[in-house]
Amino acid sequence: GAGSPAAPLSRVEARRAARAAKESVGVVASRVVGELFITFGVVMLLFVTYQLWWTNVLAGQETDRAKAQIEDTWAKGEQGGAEPDAFEPGQGFAIMYIPKLDVVVPIAEGTNKTKVLDKGMVGHYGEGGLKTAMPSDKQGNFAVAGHRNTHGEPFRYVNRLKPGDPIVVETRNTYYTYEMASILPQTSPSNVSVIDPVPKASGFTKPGRYITLTTCTPEFTSTYRMIVWGKLVDERPRSKGKPPALVG
């Protein structure tokens, strides 16, 4: 008799307790999911910061060292004599100046991503089937690659170059001044004809002394390649001082 009302109450209480437990599990789960999203967001933010900023800082340090090493090698070596016609993969051997873009960047042999491009340097197509001329060659196409975004991004703004804008390459003995001639805004990465001795689509129709800059496009992707071409307009011994494009 007296204990009979207790049983239904305990069932009600049990249901309430079960609901409370479910709610607490749901709250805990939502908190966990929320914290995971926040953590993921922080990690992504850090990764983006690393890619957009820190890789440029590291590349800047690498290119400063490479430029100093190149200049030190020139200072210690004998002036005059023929330019070396071969370099080890990854070896810095020249310095490129694009005055309009405030670019000063070492050029290394080869286009290896880790050893050259990701260190902020520009890489010369100098190996295997993609071997191209050196600036000192009396005929041919000196073709190079560089990052457009991250890792120093030396070629980020090459799309701003206009015909006549100078591109200067400094080697151990010589300043080579090229003038920008034309641009191909987009082409397939497999289109290697753009670095031919007489590059396709460049507007050049006969052998000469050319330069080709290649980089990825659109920005922050590697889907296509952007190509900028130039032609040699001046060859000046370093002993004579800087060319007009680098003075003033």
233-245 pLDDT per residue, tens: 999 999 999 999 9
106-134 pLDDT per residue, tens: 999 999 999 999 999 999 999 888 999 99
For residue 50, tell me if it sits in a domain.
Answer: no
Is 172 labeled as catalytic in the residue annotation? no
The two beta strands, 174-187 and 209-217, are unpaired
For residue 220, tell me if it sits in a domain.
Answer: yes
Domain CATH number, residue 100: 2.40.260.10
Residue 6 has pLDDT above 80, yes or no: no
For residue 121, tell me if it sits in a domain.
Answer: yes
What's the rounded mean pLDDT across residues 10-36? 74
Catalytic, out of 124, 151, 209, 225: 225
User: Is omega for the bond preceding 218 within 30 degrees of 0, making it cis?
Assistant: yes
Q: Which residue in 65, 75, 64 sits closest to 238, CA to CA?
A: 75
> Tokens 């290394």 label which residue?
108
Catalytic, out of 147, 148, 156, 172: 147
For residue 96, tell me if it sits in a domain.
Answer: yes
31-80 pLDDT per residue, tens: 788 788 787 777 777 666 656 678 888 899 999 999 999 999 999 875 55
148-181 pLDDT per residue, tens: 998 999 999 999 999 999 999 999 999 999 999 9
Give me the sign of the Cα torsion angle 172, 178, 180, 183: negative
For residue 186, tell me if it sits in a domain.
Answer: yes
For residue 42, tell me if it sits in a domain.
Answer: no
Element holding 38 (H helix, E strand): helix 6-49
Is 151 labeled as catalytic in the residue annotation? no
Domain that holds residue 177: 56-246
Is 225 labeled as catalytic in the residue annotation? yes
For residue 114, tell me if it sits in a domain.
Answer: yes
Please state whether the predicted TM-score (pTM) of the whole model is above 0.85.
no
For residue 20, tell me if it sits in a domain.
Answer: no
Residues 6+ apart with CB under 8 A from 67: 92, 95, 104, 106
The encoded tokens of residue 192 equal 């290697």
Q: What total of structural domains would you count in the chain?
A: 1
What single letter denotes the amino acid at residue 19?
R
